[in-house]
Structures are given as C-alpha cells and as structure tokens.
Amino acid sequence: MGGVLDQFYNDNYSPVGDIVVVAMCFVMLILVYTSYVSKTRTFLYFNIIVGLLLFAAITDIAYHYQLSGITSAEGHVPVYIFRCLYYFFLTASLFMYVVYIIDVQRLEISKKKPILTIAMVAFGVVVVFDILGVVRETGFHINDDGTTTKGRNIFPVGYIVFVGIIIFLMIVYRNRIFKQVMRGFYGTMLVSFIIISVQQFSKQSSFTVATFLFPVVSMMYIIHSNPYNIELGAINVSAMEDMLRYYYEKNKTLITMSLYIKEFDEEGKNFPPEIQSAIRRFAGEFFKGAVLFQVNNGHMILLADKGLNPDYEKKILKMFNDFDVEYDQYKLDYKIVYGESVDEISRNHEYISFIRHIHRGMKYNEKHRVEMSDVALFNKYEYILKELADIHRGGNLRDPRVLAYCQPVFNVKTQRYDTAEALMRIKLPETGLVFPDQFITLAEENGYIHTLTKIILQKTCDEIRYLLQEGYEVNRISVNVSVLELRDESFCDDIFRIIDESGIPSEKIAIEITESQSEKDFEVMKSKIDVLKEKGIKFYLDDFGTGYSNMERIMELPFDIIKFDRSLVLASNNDTKSEKMVDGLANMFKDMNYSVLYEGVENENDEQRCINMAASYLQGFKYSRPIPIMDLKNFFSKVKETA
C-alpha cells in the first residue's frame, strides 16, 4: 500500500491542492447558508460553480488514485471515467463562469444569446473531443504495459476560448459593473493565470482546480457576502454606521450627500440602467474616497472624508450643475440633503432618522443644506417620537398627554351647531402643545397612529355621553382615521368596543377618511366601511379636491358626507368658471343623496357662496377655531331650548 501512495504523490501530482479545494468549497457553502444571502438566480449560479469545482477536485483525486494503482492493461476503466468526469466538471465550471458574469451584467437577450451560443458550442466540443480521444486512443490512454500516453488534449484550447469570452465580457461591458467590483475580479483572475502558468512551466498538475476556485472566493466576498450593490456601487446601509463611528472617534469630519428619488421608493422597483449609470458616475467622479450607501430602493447617502476633499464646496456646486442636467432629462422627483457630519448625530448613530426628518419638511426637487437648527428640530421630533412610543406602550385610552380638541360644524338646514370634528393635540412637558402636523406622520411611520385614534375616539365618546346626559342635542361628532389603520384586522372590533363600552348610540360617531390611491387599500377600506355602517356609523370623505380624486371609486364607497377642501372654497372665489365647476360638483353629489360639507369657511362671503353651492354643513374660522372638546357645550343647544 505504501508503494502505491508513494507513486500517488510523486507522479507530478499531490492531492493536497484538491483536498484544500474540497475543504474550501464546503466552508463557502457553510458560510453562505448560515448568513443572509438573497436567493437570486446569480446566487444559484454561484452554488452550481462551487458544486462543479467540488466534484472536479474529488474526481481529480479519484483519477490520480486509480492511476497510481495501474500496473498492467487490466482494470483501467475507472481511470478513464474519473478523468473524463474531471475535465467535464472543469469545462462545465468555465461555462458557468460565463453564465454567471452575463447574469451579473444584466445583459439583454440580444447581447447574451450569441455569447451563450459560443460558450455552449465550446463546452460541447471540449467534452465530446475529450471522450472521443479516450475512445479512439488519440488522446489520453493507458498502454498495455500500464504506462500512460497523454496524446492530444483539447481542454487547454477550450480553457483559452472560455477565458477569451470572459475577458471580452469584462472589457466590452465593464460599465455594467461598479469599478471596485471589476478590480476584485481582475485581481483574482490574474492570480489564477499566474498560478496555472507556473504550474504548467513546472510540469505540475496539483493546483488546477484551485486556480478555478480563486474567482469563486472573489464572488462570495464581493457579491454574495459583501453588501455591495454591484450595479450602483452602493454598500448596504448596515455598514454606514461603522464608517460614521470610525470618523467620529477619529474626530474627523465627513461630507454627507443624500439623494431620495420618490419614484423608486417601492419594494422591488429598481433603477433602470441609465439611472444606475448616472448614480455610479456621481458616486465615483466628484469626491476622493467617497462611499455610497443604499438606505432603500429610492434613497442613497454618499459619505466622503472632508480632509481628502478640501475644495468640496466647489465639487458640490459642480455636482449640482451636472445633476440639474440629468434632472432635465429624466424629470424624476427628488430631495437632496447635503452638508458636513454633525458630531451629535454621529455619536448617537441617528443619521438615517435625521435625514428622513429633514425630508418631511422639504418639497420635492429641493436641495437642503444641513444647519444646526435642523439638529435642534430633530431632537424635538425624537423626543415627541419617544413620548408617542410611551403612549402606545401604555395603552391608556384616557392618556392625559393626548388632548381632544374639536371644531364645531354649522348645520345650514337647522341653523345650529349639532355636529363637530374631533381633532388631536399632544401636550408634553418639554415642548408644550404639539400640533398634528408635527406628530401624525411620525405616528403613522412607527405604527402608533391607531393607538392615538382609539384615545381620541374614547375621549370623544366620553364627551358625547356627557352632552347627552346634560340634555344637549348631538347629531354626531366625527373622528379622523388613517388609511393605514384599516389594514389592522382588529380595527372594527376596537371601534365597536369603545363605542359600546361608552354607552352611546353608534350613530353619534362618524369617521372621516381620505381616499386611498392604492387598489389594495381601497378594497380594505370598502370592506371596513360596510361593516361599520351596519352599526349606524356614518362616513365622511375627507379632503375632496386635493390631489387626485377617482370618481368611480368614490361612487363605490358608501360615504354619507363629502368634505370639500378649503382649496375648493378658495377656487370658487377666483372666477365664474371655477365657481360653476365647484357648484356643479356639489349639486351632483347632492342629487346622489350625499351631504356636502365645506371646510375652511372664513368670512361671510365664503359662507354665502358655499350656501349657494349646495352646502349642507359649513366649517371654518368664521364659526370657531379648534377648541378643547369640553367647550363644545358652548356651541351646542339643549333639547328643551328648541321645544
């Protein structure tokens, strides 16, 4: 046995290289399957390549082991089988390299089809000619005395063809991949060529499979384990915190550039190739040492060392000039935030939240430079968010921090106040009174909005119960509801429970809701409205006249009252044409048995004009500003007073 092993190791081949390959393949498979990796088609190709190289190494070991035991013309069939399998797996891995690179580059069918055809032909020719060489003994064969003859070997020719295809892809379509990724591929490929050349010169064959493995290691690190987006050159935002922490600890300043593009802020919606190309250019051309991070599909942040870019102000102006040219071409709505890193934000690892906070106060297609006032306002919002979280966790439906306000609504027919809209305020120790525009979006984004709605509904029900007990005439009070709440399966049950436990008739409560543009939300809204209306709850369509109103959808939803936004009240005062348009809409709804409520009525001119335009209810500063809900009794009338 010892003699066989000696021959096994001394025939210009050592199994050490292939054993290492086998071990490395298993290690890589363990790593990619125990860490998060997107299960994409590219990842599937990566696994196939690893598997092919694993089998190539195993069959190479088996081939040489069987070969080392040949002493005569007998028993050499396994040698041929393992050798053919070895070259089959190697050739197949070369073919899969081509497939992998084509997939990474996202080549169009018209471009990848001829390349794949050439690669498939090359693969078939190498495999067929290698087998024929064994069968016809023109290639590798074992002589009668047990010695071997190499004969003609087609594999080196196939290797050169595949390498040529790979080099062609990486040169011609180099702009499809971020340059740092390209450098990683080029580097590992160069190492592979050097090792295989040295091996050929030394008449060795121990490290062939190992040279095929080097680019696979590069793939795993750069693409499948590294958070690089190879098309944009962006790194996953999870790595951004480390960079900010490092520069903060080193007392260094970073230049920050944030780009948000609304159109692509959806799951699964990626930038088209021309936008990707522009982003790669902006990320790589303007600042030295810049790193691009992808927060989500439509949001990217660029960080660069200020020390390496002392003239960054000029670079920013140049970047903005170029960006404006791109905007004129693509017309994609954006928000840009830029400036220098702020120690307070870096220390607390809050840059994403900080930039999103700035976004809330921006209009689209604006550029905003970070100021210290932004930090102060952000700290206020963070405090509000912390309090909202505490209110949500507490679950107290009479939490004293949430205040119920209301605005009385004038009934045109009865000439009295018998309805109102419940409004929300928050009163906090450090900020005092906080208005809805400062906390509603925060509550919606963080899942607290339904808790706030339940609190306002509870306090509204409490006040209605009090007014009824005191003999006041209460038609109803409306409560605003976010479309996001309707997605909660317990929404209807929560509304019913609060009303029932308050002991008031369901018809004393109305719900105001804004039309949703989402088809999914529309269906949810329709089903929830149907359930709630069975209990006598009425529904208002809020903010009619703002944004896009789908009349077909409005007709499908069983609303009771259409609230005309203040913008329509203003428009009706602009000219006769606008007034006729608003009047026509109002009368159309009236003819279909909807009531029309005009909000934003501020003077007698507004009042009379709205009454002439089929108004059933009027709401606005002419009648009252928002007041604490307990003051509503100053507007409502007692039943006995109307006898």
For 34-85, how does the pLDDT look when each residue is reduced to its tens digit (9 = 90+)?
Answer: 654 556 788 889 889 999 999 999 999 998 888 876 655 566 788 889 989 9
User: SS3 for 236?
Assistant: strand
Q: Are strands 416-428 and 432-434 parallel, antiparallel or unpaired?
A: antiparallel
pLDDT tens for each residue of 470-513: 999 999 999 999 988 988 889 999 999 999 999 999 999 999 99
What percent of the chain lies above the pLDDT cut of 90?
48
Q: Which two three-digit tokens encode residue 405? A: 């306000």
- Residue 241 to residue 341: CA distance in whole angstroms: 12
CA 515-261-303 angle, to 5 degrees, is 140
Question: What's the Rg (C-alpha) of the chain?
Answer: 36
- Count other Cβ atoms within 10 Å, centred on residue 593: 7
Pairing of strands 299-305, 476-480: unpaired
Integer CA distances (angstroms), 99 to 33, 192, 481, in order: 22, 19, 52
Residue in the block written with tokens 């329509």: 568
The closest of 537, 487, 483 to 515, measured between CA atoms, is: 483
Q: Which of the pair, 162 or 546, is modelled with greater confidence?
A: 162
Instruction: Tell me which residue of 261, 239, 443 sits closest to 349, measured CA to CA.
Output: 239
Residue with tokens 């080549």: 107
Q: Is residue 6 over pLDDT 60? A: no
DSSP summary character for residue 70:
-
- What pLDDT is stored for residue 66 in this prediction? 83
pLDDT at 548: 55
b/e per residue 313-348 (b: at least 16 CB within 10 A): eebbeebeeebeebeeeeebebbbbbbebbeebbee
CA-to-CA separations, 263 to 5, 16, 330, 332, 548, in angstroms, rounded:
66, 54, 11, 7, 17
Q: In a 10 Å sphere around its CB, with 0-12 CB exposed, 13-18 middle and 19+ buried, how is residue 641 labelled? A: exposed
Q: 373: which 2 tokens?
A: 């006032």
Q: What angle do CA 598, 603, 608 make, to 5 degrees?
A: 60
Q: Which residue has better confidence, 319 or 234?
A: 319
Q: For the beta carbon of residue 435, count every other beta carbon within 10 angstroms.
A: 13
**CB-based contacts of 234, cutoff 8 Å, min separation 6:** 228, 279, 283, 292, 293, 294, 300
Does residue 278 have a pLDDT over 90? no
In order of 130, 304, 328, 533, 627, the CA distances from 257 in angstroms are 57, 9, 20, 50, 43
Number of Cβ within a 10 Å radius of residue 283:
22
Amino acid at 223: I
In our burial notation (b when 16+ CB lie closer than 10 A, e otherwise), range 576-587 reads eeebeebbebbe
Which of 46, 26, 45, 42 is closest to 34 using CA atoms? 26
- Looking at residue 617, its pLDDT comes to 96
Alpha helical stretches, state H, 534-575: 551-556, 566-571
Task: Tokens for 271, please give them.
Answer: 């930038």
Asked whether residue 458 carries a pLDDT value surpassing 80, the answer given is: yes
| C-beta atoms surrounding 506 within 10 Å | 17
Q: How far apart are CA 26 and CA 454, in angstroms?
A: 55
Tokens of 12: 């210009």
Q: Which of 359-368, 474-483, 521-530 has the least mean pLDDT?
A: 521-530
Q: Residues 74-127: pLDDT tens digits? A: 667 888 899 899 999 999 999 999 999 898 888 889 998 999 999 999 999 999
Chain mean position to CA 253: 28
- Among candidate residues 133, 136, 137, the one with its CA nearest the CA of residue 155: 133
Whole-angstrom distance, CA of residue 72 vs CA of residue 143: 8
Residue 386: pLDDT over 60 = yes
Residue type, 158: G
Are 570 and 546 in contact by the 8 Å Cβ rule? The answer is no
How far, in Å, CA of 135 to CA of 117, rounded?
A: 27
Q: What is the mean pLDDT of residues 151-180?
A: 85
Per mean pLDDT, which of 5-14, 24-33, 73-82, 323-332 is the most reliable? Answer: 323-332
- 């604006």: which residue's tokens? 366
